[in-house]
A and B are shown apart, each in its own frame.
Chain A
Amino acid sequence: MTFFSQKLKSQKASTRIDSQSRRQLLKLLSAGCGCCICGSVSARLLKYPLHATEIGSKTWAVHGESSHFNLDNGGNIVNVAFIEVPDGVVVIDTGPSKRYGEALLALIEKTVPGKPILRVYNTHHHPDHCFGNQVFDPAIIAAPQGVIDNINTEGNAFADNMYRLVGDWMRGTAPVAPAVVLDASTEEIGGRQFSLFYLSGHTSADFVVRDDSTGVLFSGDLAFLYRAPTTPHADIATWQGAIDSLGALDHELILPGHGPSDKRDESLAQTSDYLAWLEDTLIGAVDSGLTMNEAMQLPIPDGFASLNVVREEFERSVVHLYPDLEDQLMPIIDVTR
């Protein structure tokens, strides 16, 4: 769709240009691709418009879009962060592709010039959070064993799907698992102490980092804000427990996996409320015998209707969560064979 509509737009644009601006047109064509056959995707310059927002002292967030993976955003839908510590830089999550990783490196160099990157954390194995790993030295990339196992098991399938969804943005990208296995409750990096929390629920291994000097909590995808949570590997009850644990931790600010930074724990409340509604709704749907397609059409309450991509995520969640609920709610019948 995007391909055709863009091609159509460029055709319309070129018919509008009269002979006077012919030179301009030539300039335009040579700046782009110059050949109408190869289409807009390859003609476009694939450049992530990364911007560092200072959310705490010497702490920057790189916010992604609130949409789905697509050919326009190149998978940049995620929050990545970096912190200047006394002796260098600590990075939390690496984005959806090698190209993103390169752009992130350039942004870090521009923001804190000449500082070495000492540590890269991966919060979980989803491709938007760890597919920029390739541009960093694996010896400084760290995560709990569960995250590493998940990357090793599912990384290649994720890569296949990402190439399909965002195309050439992914060129050269391959999954890289962290080399450093974490299991301690704290670690000191470059003169700064970080607390490490080993949780699960969004996936089977969700890793949360807290900068103990600033109190910024990097929640990964255990918290979403103004963007509907995703559930492909979710266990809702465990996730709710993890949200409770995060709420009980001392912190000044939360950087959720998706959405703006959060000073009032809004991301925890919103994620928890949405998951509770999601679970209740799907239990009701399975119990009344609705097909998945019928469940996908159920109304979304006003409170969640403003969350970005909520209808799409709700539809995906029906597919993710129905099978387990069927196990719980549909009784086993005695069969004669």
Chain B
Amino acid sequence: MVHSKQVRFFNTLIRRMAYMTNTAKKLALVGLLLAYATLTSTATHASIPADPFGSVMWKTMVETYFTGGDVVFDERVVVSAPKSAENQMHVPITVDATRLKNVKQIVAVADLNPIQHVLTVRPEQALSFIGFRLKLQQSSPIHVGVQTEDGTWHIGGALVDAAGGGCTAPAHAHSISNWMQTLGETRALVRRDSKGDARMTIRMRHPMDTGLASGIPVFYMNKMVVKDEAGGVVAELDLYEPVSENPTLTLKPSVGSASSVLKVSTRDTEGNEFAFPLSVPAVLAQ
């Protein structure tokens, strides 16, 4: 943050520049730019809070993925993950940030993966909740940033111990000769929980190739949009290489208590597009 005293000083300087010679103006301008650059860069670094997970990549994660606002660790971002990964190709993660209001986006990163960005979710008409599975290349902190409308990043996370190798092993699909035929095959389930909230779980066949397994180029599902009957966006997801093969995603769309039909469309990095409807049951009358 730039201090208000400093801001007043710069404002005065700029006003006075009107009365300066051209050379003095140029000099003052260069000085101003330098001062601003120094101030803003030190300000960004100073505002990174210490990482409770002790990640060596924490500063890089903030500077790369959690930009444009303050960064605070917040217990309202609940990240559930197993302490130890039973299967490094499928590490289940659930993020529940439903206690935060005005959420703009949810960004999940695996700090020590060769590709860190796992996914971004923009829950337009959905609760701030996402279940997914990811690949881990080694034991790693998982950081999840939930950005609210004011720009602030609320951070939660977990440490996952893993045998490793999840990102460089070929997808299971490559051991099946006809895997291309089942690309995009979708299983889905929509339920109402005891509070009447809808939750949808979908699992789509896709190898989610990271490009890091020998001889297998990058190929993954990178986009998913869920819309309501009227065409309003319920949630938008950007998926990246570390999302597990056959992405399994759980969302909580806010669709009211009546029955309705959601429209899901997805796209992968080779331009394949898949679309399907999902019926949401009405909340049962008590």
Contacts and interface: CB of A to CB of B under 8 A. Distances in A.
A70 to B, nearest CB: 11
Interface residues of B, number: 35
Interface of A: 160-161, 164, 232, 286-289, 291-294, 296-297, 315-316, 318-320, 323, 326-327, 329-337
A77 to B, nearest CB: 16
Nearest to B87: A319
Nearest to B278: A333
A52 to B, nearest CB: 33
Interface stretch (B2-10, B181-189, B229-237): B181-189
A337 B264 CA distance: 12
A241 to B, nearest CB: 25
B94 A294 contact: yes
Given A288-B193, A315-B82, A319-B82, A326 B203 contact: yes
A330 B189 contact: yes
B187 A330 contact: yes
Contacts of A296: 80, 82, 92
Interface stretch (B37-45, B112-120, B214-222, B269-277): B269-277
Nearest to A68: B84
A319 B244 CA distance: 13
B275 A336 contact: yes
A112 B65 CA distance: 66
B227 interface: no
Given A329-B189, A330-B187, A335 B275 contact: yes
Given A294-B131, A333-B187, A333-B188, 11 more contacts: A286-B189, A287-B191, A288-B191, A291-B92, A292-B94, A293-B82, A297-B80, A329-B189, A330-B188, A330-B189, A334-B276
A160 B273 CA distance: 40
Nearest to A286: B189
B174 to A, nearest CB: 17
B107 interface: no
Contacts of A286: 189
A320 B86 contact: yes
25 contacts: A286-B189, A287-B189, A289-B189, A291-B92, A291-B201, A291-B250, A292-B92, A292-B131, A293-B82, A293-B94, A293-B131, A294-B131, A318-B92, A319-B82, A326-B187, A326-B248, A330-B189, A330-B203, A331-B188, A332-B186, A333-B187, A333-B202, A335-B185, A335-B274, A336-B276
Contacts of A289: 189-191, 193, 199-201, 250
Interface in B240-266: 248, 250
Nearest to A163: B163
B167 interface: no
A100 to B, nearest CB: 21
B274 A336 contact: yes
